Chains A and B, each alone.
Chain A
Amino acid sequence: MRRLRLVLVMLTLGPLLLIPAALFAQTMYVSRDEVKVTEEKSPTSKVVETLRRGAQVQVIEKSDRHVKIQAPSGKTGWVFKFTLSDQKVGGGGGNLLSVVTGDTRIAAREAGTGGSIRGLKETSERYATAKHVDQASKEAVQRMEDRVISREELLRFQQEGSVGEFAGEAP
């Protein structure tokens, strides 16, 4: 009787052990450039690979703020959870139509504006002239456009305060 019970338990639980990886494997997409895949759950641990925006990864394990993934190259490691999106990245979206239709894919062309200096648009310039916007206000907007913060400066700031990717780590 005991042997029969054991066989029944093994027959039912055995296949269950195989289910999670196959059934719950989740595909996610990298939502920004230069996402580091690291050996440990820390941005300061050894970098295994750097992923580009739009890369498709397979989720292996999730923790509070990090996700263990398998990169397209087959390498595995941890990435900061909030650099991943469950929506396909790139192509279309980024406009009112996407808002109306619920298509929230991240627009590829928006990536082109990341960190770059933009001038005032001709339309905005014309508006300023027509509406007699004072020069100081116009120049202030131009200064907003000109201010560039490097990735290194941002990471240093985050590390000092234990925020962003460094949250939960000693400063």
Chain B
Amino acid sequence: MNRTIQRTTMIVLMSLTLVGGTVDLSWGILDQLLSPPAEKKPSQSKGQAQPSEQKGLVDGIGGLLGAKPKDLDLIKKGLKAAQALQPIGLEEEIAIGQAVAMEAFARFGGEYKDEALTTYVNLVGRTVAEVSDRPELTYRFAILNSREQNAFAAPGGYIFVTIGLLKTLKNEAELAGVLAHEVAHVTQKHMLKTLQRSAILANVSEFSLSAMNKDPRLFSNVIDAATEMLFEKGLDKEMEFEADTMGIEYTYRAGYHPNGLRDYLATLKAQEGMADSRFFSTHPSTEERLRRATDTATRYRGASKYPYLTERFRSRMGQA
């Protein structure tokens, strides 16, 4: 009798394991990883102190750290502004993107005028963007007439790649990987998040098109900060690593070989110190990126069935 119960228990446990195991077996590996973490929203119980009321807290901690009253006022103003700042909407995001895009053309040799090649870059870019986490946005891709290797994304879905970088690529999967990295910056709103944290918007309570039209200096200051970040300083390195991970995921979702971005990083690594590129100064260490990208790309099982599309890439690049 005991043996019967033991066997039955084993069968039940095995069945439960099998049923549970099939539930999410077939989803992409990174689906879970890429799900945004559930953020804890601070509960605001009745009578809870608001930033403007936090005299005791800010003054107390500031006092302990030896901060001057003038500095404490600045901290309190910052807290108040952070609470009051209205969300930046899509219209404002596009306006920022357009202005940054103009600066990109102005600083990187202008537009590379090859309609067929630009259409090709847009087709690869759209293939990747439509499986991204922000598929409803229209992404626009352009080629910059610069020999240096570079690619960047402005808010609103304006994405750029230089002809110098395009000529370094070996296949369409690499192009998809590079564009997917830039698409990820847009889907994750990396630049907007950084601007939001910057001093430029610290004392701004409204960042709407009408507010910017009333105060053009505010918009101009935002664009200055955005272009400095994009073309000179670079984004936070964790944002770059995140864009690599998500870019590889988007490349895989789009049906390209997920090694695309990794392979380009390997080329970049080999050229370090020789290539004409601001990529090295605006991005984290290529060695670290390559190590992480290799680790991420190898997690995709069955990746070998996805194409690199070397021939199509070569024929579309033509005489460029």
Contacts and interface: CB of A to CB of B under 8 A. Distances in A.
Interface of A: 1, 4-5, 8-9, 12-13, 16, 19-20, 24, 31-32, 53, 62-65, 81-83, 86, 94-102, 104, 106-107, 109-111, 113-116, 118, 120-124, 126-128, 130-131, 133-134, 136-138, 140-141, 143-145, 147, 149, 153-154, 157-158, 160-164, 166-168
A101 B209 contact: no
A164 B131 contact: yes
B65 to A, nearest CB: 26
A164 B123 CA distance: 11
Given A1-B4, A110-B136, A118 B213 contact: no
28 contacts: A12-B8, A12-B11, A62-B27, A82-B131, A83-B135, A95-B87, A95-B88, A96-B189, A99-B189, A99-B193, A100-B196, A104-B133, A110-B90, A114-B136, A122-B213, A124-B98, A127-B216, A131-B220, A133-B102, A136-B110, A137-B105, A138-B102, A141-B98, A143-B111, A157-B123, A158-B127, A160-B312, A162-B255
Given A94-B90, A127-B223, A154-B126, A167 B102 contact: no
Interface-centre pick from A20, A106, A164, A166 (highest chain B CB count, 10 A): A164
Interface residues of B, number: 82
Contacts of B89: 94-95
Given A128-B99, A133-B103, A110 B127 contact: no
Contacts of A134: 106
Nearest to A121: B95
Contacts of A164: 127, 130-131, 254-255
A106 B130 CA distance: 13
B302 A64 contact: yes
B307 interface: yes
Given A1-B4, A82-B131, 5 more contacts: A4-B4, A8-B8, A19-B19, A96-B193, A121-B95
